[in-house]
Structures are given as structure tokens and as C-alpha cells.
Amino acid sequence: MGKSHILVVDDEPSVLLTYRLLLEQQGYDVTAVLSAREAMRILETSTFDLLLCDLSLEEQYSGFDVVDFGRQRDPGLLAALLTGYATMDAAEKAGTRNIPLLFKPIDIEQFFTTISALLGDGNGQAKASGE
Amino acid sequence: MATPMLRARQNSSVERQNGDSDLARHRRRAALRLLGAERAEEIFPVLLEEILALGFSRALVAEVDFESATVRPVASLNCPRPLQDYFRVSLWSDAPVLSALHEFTPATIAYNRNRKLYVHPLIYNNRRPCWEAERDHRSADCLAVLNQNHTRRLSLNEQVCQVCDMRSYAALVAVEVPARGMEREMMELRAVAELANRYLARLFKVEHYFNRMRDMETTIAQLNTVMQSMPDPVILTDAQHRVLLQNRAAARFFKLPEEVTEGLAHAVELNNLLFSAALSSMAVSDAESSRDLTLVDAIEGDEVLFEAVCAPTLTRDGVRVGMVTVMRDVTDLRRADEELRSNYDRLRTAEEVVRQDRDRLNLIVENVGDPIAVCDSNAKFVLLDPLARELFGAEEEDAVRTPEQMKNLARFEAYVTTFTYAFSHKESAPLRLFNPTLQTEVDYDARSGKIYDERGQVSYTVTVLRDFTALRKLEQLKMERRILEIEKFAATGRLAGTIAHEINNPMEAIKNSIYLMGSMVEPHGQPIYDILKKETERVARITRQMLGLYRHSEQVTNVDINSLVEDTLALFARQLERAGVRVENSLKPMPPILGSADQFRQILSNLIVNARDSMPDGGRLRIRTRHVSRPDSVHGTIRITIADTGTGIPPSSIATIFEPFYTTKGERGTGLGLWIVKGILENHSGKIRVRSKVGRGTVFRIELPIVR
């Protein structure tokens, strides 16, 4: 019951799969989707403790759109962006919105610490247990 | 004439009675009487009386009046009117009475049937020459001697002494004589006439001198008046410099006034002393001499500057008897002169300054290397330098110009006219002119300024035309190269980014998969798994580094470079120690610098790693930080020097070490370290320089501007 629910968004199926496996291995409850559109649809109906989203997604959407969408529904939604390549603008944008930006290839230890740090600040855990 | 006639009658009676002895007595008495005459006019009456005393009945004296050129009787005894009138004749007539005068010899002329007239000329003569003739050694020219000796016959008109300029008198004694007899009386008459003439000559001479003296007195009086009325002091001194005569102007300085004060007396005494001294110095020369003399005005007490002109006074023989000194008050003159001179000097100095300035300016103008044109307020050329002359032709309006020069001139005039009437003091504008050297139209940068007159009106404009063609080309070339560099860099960066992006996602999947596989690996597969993991990590490292440049995730903050250095060194301490590298650092206090700490850390670690790798057998790593203040920047720069004693970089490679994928480390290196270092520094407006010597080591010097 103490499992945190994480939504992972990445347009590369293999990457998405490894994320899901890694997170499940760590004991999180994971929902993995391949597109921003799909992510938004799920965010409309469900709530998550943490949103992990690739920055550069397919079509016209970016990771920011997904986070913004999620936060419209749930302003307290915790999120981290993952990217293989970030422009300076994007990095600055993430900085100002207080969204951690993780650069691929992400050191796995760092990946885990960032996630547990985000969720472990109490707020996420409380929320998770509240679900 | 009544009395003489009476006496003649008495005398004549005596003579007849006493014969020869009477004649002798008569002559003595006549001589004494004539001698008693003290004036020339007394001679004639005495002579006539003595003639009548000889027994003659009538006698008269007629004198020549040279002014009216007539002869007229001046004294007569017992002469009736007709006889007197007989002697009233013109000098130019051929009256018989004149013959004696013209001949200078006594004559007897027939007056009428019964009577004859003895006519005796009286003319100035003397046996000895007069004093002046004697003094001048011109005795031969003396009229008196000439008339006495008859060495040269002089006509009546010539009766003027050439020595003393004295006109002789000329007169006739006429005596009525009987036709016969009285020979002795006649002789006596002649002697008395001669005697009378001698006395007359002497008296005449004396009277001449007297007249001369009177004339001289008049002259002296006149001269004295002139001298006294002169405003300048005039002083006549004797040979011993004693003052003989001075005018009033001189007395003011040299004569003690009646009311005398001690200071005044002193002033006069001093003046006299100064004057004597001046005279002594001037008296040395015979000619006129002058010198300046400062005297004190005894009355006003002012100092007056005089120019004393001194001339010796000489006798006719050239003997110096004294000096005449005329002094001119030149105080004002000198002051004016001095002022004039100083003004002149000032003018000369100013002129010299102006000349130097002009020369300097000309030198500058000629060496500027750009066309320069000075125009008047009507935009007409006043001065052109040789380059401007090539563009526009000569300054003169009617100079011969090529069509291109005419065109240039028209454009230039339009520009200058606009500028002249514009409100701005300065102007800088492009001006398209035909360049004769390049044979094409060129954009000149015209820079103009105005020169104003005293009233603030534009009197001249100065325009410098700068031809930026060459400079522009160079600038453009540089810029193009720089842009190319930037483009290259950016392209490389973009490429790297794209590659990284395309690689990173698969890499993420691979890496995650490897991690997930970790627990599934069979023991015999472990080495292969390790290789897989290690090499994957290496690829991940390369892409991460490549992306380092484009990843500005962190906040820009104030960074303390010294603590960054210490942190980084601490991070590598173990590695360095293992490699046998000794670390020496010298970190001086410095202000914080705005930037990305992570990126600076990356610079430091890249350079430290490179240094370590260049010293496989150990060595020394020196890190120095300094704050350098620069006059051209507000806060100065920070200089970081990282020096190793490693293998060094060969000169041929120095140029390429900052290029991407250049490595000396083979498989261990990514070839991106220094490229990243350079990129980060450029992002922070910093610079990096490298000095290296193979076998000795390498020094990297980083300069970062302090921005706050």
C-alpha cells in the first residue's frame, strides 16, 4: 500500500520498458506510456505521485506540456524531466519551474536517488499512502 | 654852411701872408684836426675847411651812393647850387666828374671858361691789410691793399673786399682852382686830401667793425632767444666743462633754485656730476656724439631720461673751446620704444609659435595619409593636402580638373555646404567619391569639424576623408574568418548534440538493460558482462562530455575560484599521489566571479587530468591563481595558471589541441577535454593560452574577466 505510483513517459519503447523494469524492481507502482497524448489522457483520470517524462516527445508536445497539463489537474504533482539532449533554453526553463532535469545516459544510482529524494520529502509519501 | 665859409676866408688871408712856413703849419694843423675827427662823417667838413684854408674858394665832397648808383654832394663850402648840381650825376653817365672816380686818379676838369675843377677821388685804401686778411693770410685779397697798390684795377662795382665782405666808400673832393698858378697850394691840397682819405679809411673800418659788432649782438640776442625758448636743455660749456651758458630748460636741472631744500640741492649736485661725467666721456671724440643720461627733475622730482647730443665748439682755427650740449627728453620716447620693442618681441614670439604650430600642423596634415580639406564659409577650398588634391584638383577655383574631380568636387561641396549651415559642430558621414588610385568610386568616411571666428560664425570647416576600403576589407576578412570559426564550432556543436541525442536514448536503453541483466549473468559470462558494462559506460562518458558544452542547466552564481581549485585538487588527490605527481599551489585572494561552478570545475578537472596523464613517471603540478587589475576593465581579470613538468606538446600539435577529437591518449581519451575547456571559457568571455616545450612541460594560462 506504501507503493508510490509513478507515470513514466518516453517515446522510445525500449527505453520506456527499461525504465518500467528498473522502477518496478525498486518497488514502485509504474504506469508507462509512449506519447504525450496518452500521458495526458491518463493524467486526466488518474493521479500520480511522480511524473517522469522525456523532454523531447513526438509531435508538437514537449515534456513541459505534459508536466503543465498534469499540474493543471494536480498542482502538487511532482515531476522530473529526462533528456538525451537539452538546449540551454530548456535547461533554464526547467530551472525556473523547479523541475529536476536528468541527462541520459543517466547514472542509475543517481536516477534512483533523485526519485527517492523527490518522493521521500514526505509529501509524496504522504500522498502515496493517502491513495 | 655859413660858418665854414666864414672860416675859409679868414684862413686864406693868413696863408697869403706867411708863404711856405704857413703851408707847413697849415698841414700840421690840418693833420691834427683830421686826427681829431672821431666819426667818418666829421672828416668831410674838416677837409673842406682845410682846403679853403689853403686859399681855394670853393670845394665840395660828392659821395657815391651804391644803392641808387648815383653820385651826390654830401658836403660843400661856398659852392653855388649849379656847381653842386654838377656833381649830382648817375654813376652810369659819362659826366666828366666821374673820370677821376673811374680812374682813381686826381683830375682837373674844365668847369667853364674861367674856372677849372680839381677832382680828387677818395676811396678806401691802406698800406697794410686789415686784421681779418692778415689772420686769414689773404693780404693780397684785401681791398685796402689792392686800392693802395693798384696791383689790380677794380671798377667801382668791384669795390667789395673779398676777405671781409666790406664795401668800400667812394667819394670825390672837388675844388675850384684857378686856371694858372697856386701850384704849391695845389700840391698841398693833394696831400691834405690823401691825409683825409687815410683817416677816413681808418674810421670807416672802425665803423665797419662797429656795425659788424652790432649785427653780431643782434644775432646773439636772437640766438639767445632761440636757445631760451627751446624746451630742451641746452648748455654751453668751456674746455674745462664749466657751464658758460644754459637755457631755462637746463637751469631746471643744473641750477639751484632760490628756495632750496636739501633733497633738491642734492638732486642738482647729482645732475651736475652726472652731466660732467657724460661730457668727459663725450669730449673724447671730436665729432658730434651722443649718449643717454638720466637726470632728476629738481622741481618735479621725477627721473627723466635724456639723450644728450654734444658738439664741440671750435674757433676758426679749429681749436676746441668748449661744448654745446643739447639734451632731448626721451623718457616717453624710450618708454614707447621699449613698449614697441616688447610688443614686437611678443609678436615675434607669437609668430614663432604660430609658425611652429603651422609647420607641425602641415607635417601632420601631410602625414595623415587621408585626404584633408579645409574650406571657407562658402565651402571653397582654402587648403588641401596632396591626397585631397588628387581627389579634387588644386585649391584654386579655376584649376584644371578631370571630369571625375569635377564630380567629386560637386559632391564634396554639397556635403560641406550642408555641414556649414548645419547646427552640429561635428559631422561624420559616408561620402562616395571617385578614387583615382583605385579608379573606382569608393565610400569615404567624411569627418568634419568647424572653426569659428570671434563672433561665433563659421569661418572654416575641416574635413578628413577616410578611405575605409582597405580597412573594411581586412575587417570583413577577419569577420568572415571569425564567423566561419563560430559556424564551424556551432556546426560541430550541433552535430555533437544531434549525435548525442540520437545515441543517448539507445544508450539509456542499453545501459538500463545491462543493469537489469546484472543479476541474471552466469559466472562464466561475468567477464563479458563486465566488458559490456565498462565500454558502455565509456560511450556514455563521451556523449556526456560532448554535451557538457551545451548543457547549461545550472544557475549562474558567484564562484570562488580558489575553493573550486582546492575542491578539484582534493578530488584528484589520491590519483595524483598514485601517479607520483607533487602538487604545489599558490592561491592569492580574489573576488568571486560570476559563472557556472560546474563548468569551471570541468575546466579544472580536464586540465588536471591532462597534466597527470602527461606525467606518467611523476612530476610537479603547479596551480596559481591571481587577480590582475586591468585599466581597460572595471574589475580586472582572474588568471589561473596550470603548469606541469610532463612530456609537453610538440609545436606541430599546439595549434590543434583545442580541436575536438584530438587526443594523445589513444583509447583512454575522448579528444574532447581541451575543446570543452575552450568552449566553456568562450562562453564566459575567457581566454586560454598554452606554452609548451617537449620534455619540459606545459603551461596553460586561463584569463577570466570578473563580471558582477
CA angle (B388 as vertex; B385, B391 as ends), nearest 5: 155
| Model confidence at B633: pLDDT above 80 | no
Spatial separation of the C-alpha atoms in residues B87 and B83, rounded to whole Å: 7
Q: What share of chain B is helix, strand, coil (3-state, %, to 5)?
A: 50, 25, 25
In chain A, residues with a C-beta closer than 8 Å to the C-beta of B498 are 85
Give strand pairing partners of B327. B308
Q: Are B619 and B645 in contact (CB under 8 A)?
A: yes
Give pLDDT tens digits for B659-689: 777 777 665 566 778 888 888 888 777 889 9
In a shared domain, residues B320 and B395: no
Between B497, B509, B515, which is nearest A85 by CB?
B497
| Model confidence at A42: pLDDT above 90 | yes
| Model confidence at B552: pLDDT above 50 | no
DSSP string for residues in B293-306? EEEE-TTT--EEEE
**Per-residue confidence (pLDDT) for residue B632, from 0 to 100:** 55
Summarize the confidence of residues B592-607 as an average pLDDT. Answer: 82
Spatial separation of the C-alpha atoms in residues A28 and B454, rounded to whole Å: 92
In a shared domain, residues B119 and B90: yes
Spatial separation of the C-alpha atoms in residues A22 and B511, rounded to whole Å: 11
In a shared domain, residues B692 and B558: yes
Between A22, A94, A101, which is nearest B512 by CB?
A22
Distance of alpha carbon A83 from its chain centroid, rounded? 11
**Per-residue confidence (pLDDT) for residue A53, from 0 to 100:** 93
**Per-residue confidence (pLDDT) for residue B486, from 0 to 100:** 56
**Rg of chain A (C-alpha set):** 13
Interchain pair B511, A101: CB under 8 A? no
In chain B, residues with a C-beta closer than 8 Å to the C-beta of A15 are 505-506, 508-509, 512
In a shared domain, residues B418 and B324: no
B335 in a structural domain: no
Long-range CB contact pairs, B488-494, < 8 A, 24+? B489/B679, B492/B660, B493/B549, B493/B550, B493/B679
Interchain pair A85, B506: CB under 8 A? no
In a shared domain, residues B463 and B480: no
> Å from B532 to nearest chain A CA?
15
Summarize the confidence of residues B640-660 as an average pLDDT. Answer: 87
**Per-residue confidence (pLDDT) for residue A10, from 0 to 100:** 92
Domain ranges of chain A: 5-122
Give pLDDT tens digits for B342-358: 989 999 999 989 988 88
**Per-residue confidence (pLDDT) for residue B14, from 0 to 100:** 46
Spatial separation of the C-alpha atoms in residues B22 and B17, rounded to whole Å: 8
Q: Is B556 left (phi over 0), alpha (psi -120 to 50) or beta?
A: beta
State yes or no: cis peptide before A105, omega within 30 of 0.
yes
B381-384 and A101-103 strand pairing: unpaired
Cell numbers found for residue B80: 653855388
DSSP string for residues in B523-584? GGGHHHHHHHHHHHHHHHHHHHHHHHTT---SPPEEE-HHHHHHHHHHHHHHHHHHTTEEEE
Buried residues in B348-364 as b, exposed as e (16+ CB within 10 A): eeeeeeeeeeeeeeeee
* Residue from B551, B557, B598 whose CB has the most chain A CBs within 10 Å, to mutate: B551
B377 in a structural domain: yes
Summarize the confidence of residues A51-59 as an average pLDDT. Answer: 84
In chain A, residues with a C-beta closer than 8 Å to the C-beta of B541 are none
Summarize the confidence of residues B44-56 as an average pLDDT. Answer: 91
State the pTM of this model: 0.41
Spatial separation of the C-alpha atoms in residues B433 and B442, rounded to whole Å: 6
The domain of B536 spans: 468-551
Spatial separation of the C-alpha atoms in residues B304 and B297, rounded to whole Å: 7
Spatial separation of the C-alpha atoms in residues A107 and A82, rounded to whole Å: 12
B357 in a structural domain: no
Question: Could you tell me what percent of chain A has a pLDDT over 70?
Answer: 87
Interchain pair A18, B512: CB under 8 A? yes
Instruction: List the single residue in A with minimal CA-CA distance to B551.
Output: A88
Summarize the confidence of residues A113-119 as an average pLDDT. Answer: 89
Of the two residues B113 and B270, the one the predictor is more confident about is B270
Spatial separation of the C-alpha atoms in residues B446 and B448, rounded to whole Å: 6
Domain boundary among B536, B551, B566: B551
Contact residues for B548 (Cβ-Cβ < 8 A; gap 6+): B599, B602, B676, B680
B602 in a structural domain: yes
Number of domains in chain B: 5
> Å from B600 to nearest chain A CA?
17
B309 in a structural domain: yes
Of B393-402, B498-507, B650-659, the least confident: B498-507
> Residue written as cell 607635417?
B363
Interchain pair A95, B543: CB under 8 A? no
| Model confidence at A125: pLDDT above 50 | no
Summarize the confidence of residues A80-101 as an average pLDDT. Answer: 80
Give pLDDT tens digits for B52-102: 988 898 999 999 998 888 999 999 999 999 889 989 999 888 888 888 888
Chain B interface includes A34 (CB < 8 A): no
Spatial separation of the C-alpha atoms in residues B371 and B462, rounded to whole Å: 11
- Chain B: residues touching A (Cβ < 8 Å): 497-498, 500-509, 511-513, 515-516, 540, 543-544, 547, 550-555
B440-452 and B426-435 strand pairing: antiparallel
**Per-residue confidence (pLDDT) for residue B19, from 0 to 100:** 64
**Per-residue confidence (pLDDT) for residue A1, from 0 to 100:** 47
Q: C-alpha distances in angstroms, A26 versus A2, A117, B54, B55, B507?
A: 13, 14, 200, 202, 21
B652 in a structural domain: yes
φ, ψ (nearest 5 deg) of residue B643: -125, 135
Cell numbers found for residue A64: 513541459
Q: Are B651 and B660 in contact (CB under 8 A)?
A: no
Interchain pair A12, B544: CB under 8 A? no
Confidence at B556, pLDDT banded by 50, 70, 90: low
A5-9 and A50-54 strand pairing: parallel
**Per-residue confidence (pLDDT) for residue B13, from 0 to 100:** 45
| Model confidence at B15: pLDDT above 50 | no
Q: Are B638 and B629 in contact (CB under 8 A)?
A: no
Instruction: List the single residue in A with minimal CA-CA distance to B502.
Output: A84
Give pLDDT tens digits for B206-232: 999 999 999 999 999 998 899 888 888
Interchain pair B501, A94: CB under 8 A? no
Question: Could you tell me what percent of chain B has a pLDDT over 90?
Answer: 15
B362 in a structural domain: no
In a shared domain, residues B586 and B691: yes
Spatial separation of the C-alpha atoms in residues B489 and B243, rounded to whole Å: 112
B403 in a structural domain: yes
Summarize the confidence of residues B570-579 as an average pLDDT. Answer: 84
Between B501, B512, B552, which is nearest A85 by CB?
B501
In a shared domain, residues B393 and B472: no
Confidence at B484, pLDDT banded by 50, 70, 90: low
In a shared domain, residues B285 and B372: no
In chain A, residues with a C-beta closer than 8 Å to the C-beta of B511 are 105, 108
Mention the CATH class of domain A5-122.
Answer: alpha beta
**Per-residue confidence (pLDDT) for residue B74, from 0 to 100:** 92
DSSP string for residues in B381-431? EEEE-HHHHHHH--SSTT----HHHHHHHHHHHHHHHHHHHSS-SEEEEEE
Between B503, B505, B554, which is nearest A12 by CB?
B505
Chain B interface includes A108 (CB < 8 A): yes
Of the two residues B576 and B633, the one the predictor is more confident about is B576
* Number of cross-chain residue pairs from A and B with Cβ atoms under 8 Å apart: 76
> Å from B563 to nearest chain A CA?
25
The total of other beta-carbon atoms located within 10 Å of residue B627's CB is 16
Angle between helices B561-578 and B597-614 (to 10 degrees): 30
Between B509, B547, B555, which is nearest A85 by CB?
B547
**Per-residue confidence (pLDDT) for residue B269, from 0 to 100:** 85
Interchain pair A108, B540: CB under 8 A? no
CATH for B382: 3.30.450.20
DSSP string for residues in B127-156? SS--HHHHHTT-GGG-HHHHHHH-SS---G
| Model confidence at A27: pLDDT above 50 | yes
**Per-residue confidence (pLDDT) for residue B707, from 0 to 100:** 66
* Residue from A104, A107, A110 whose CB has the most chain B CBs within 10 Å, to mutate: A104
Confidence at B12, pLDDT banded by 50, 70, 90: very low
Spatial separation of the C-alpha atoms in residues B339 and B122, rounded to whole Å: 73
Strand locations in B275-335 (E):
289-296, 303-314, 320-329
Angle between helices A63-73 and A36-45 (to 10 degrees): 10
Of A37-46, B587-596, B626-635, the least confident: B626-635
Spatial separation of the C-alpha atoms in residues B37 and B98, rounded to whole Å: 27
Of the two residues B630 and A20, the one the predictor is more confident about is A20
φ, ψ (nearest 5 deg) of residue B398: -95, 15
Chain B interface includes A105 (CB < 8 A): yes
> Residue written as cell 559556424?
B487
Which residue, among A63, A55, A66, A60, has the nearest Cα to A103 in the 3D structure?
A55
Spatial separation of the C-alpha atoms in residues B21 and B674, rounded to whole Å: 172
> Å from B482 to nearest chain A CA?
23
Instruction: List the single residue in B with minimal CA-CA distance to A10.
Output: B505
Contact residues for B580 (Cβ-Cβ < 8 A; gap 6+): B615, B617, B618, B619
Q: Is B218 left (phi over 0), alpha (psi -120 to 50) or beta?
A: alpha
**Per-residue confidence (pLDDT) for residue B88, from 0 to 100:** 92
**Per-residue confidence (pLDDT) for residue A39, from 0 to 100:** 92
In a shared domain, residues B648 and B545: no
Spatial separation of the C-alpha atoms in residues A87 and B501, rounded to whole Å: 11
Interchain pair B553, A104: CB under 8 A? no
**Per-residue confidence (pLDDT) for residue B634, from 0 to 100:** 60
> Which of B18-27, B196-205, B533-542 ranks highest by mean pLDDT?
B196-205
Question: Could you tell me what percent of chain B has a pLDDT over 70?
Answer: 89
Confidence at B362, pLDDT banded by 50, 70, 90: confident
> Å from A130 to nearest chain B CA?
31
| Model confidence at B185: pLDDT above 60 | yes
- ipTM, 2 decimals? 0.84
Domain boundary among B280, B311, B329: B329
Q: C-alpha distances in angstroms, B3 versus A88, B443, B478, B666, B669?
A: 166, 133, 146, 177, 175
In a shared domain, residues B542 and B562: no
The total of other beta-carbon atoms located within 10 Å of residue A13's CB is 11
In a shared domain, residues B601 and B622: yes
> What is the DSSP-derived secondary structure letter of residue A56?
B
Instruction: List the single residue in A with minimal CA-CA distance to B514.
Output: A18
In a shared domain, residues B427 and B451: yes
Average pLDDT, chain B: 83
One-letter amino acid for residue A32 of the chain: A
Give pLDDT tens digits for B296-335: 887 777 888 888 888 888 887 788 888 888 888 888 888 8
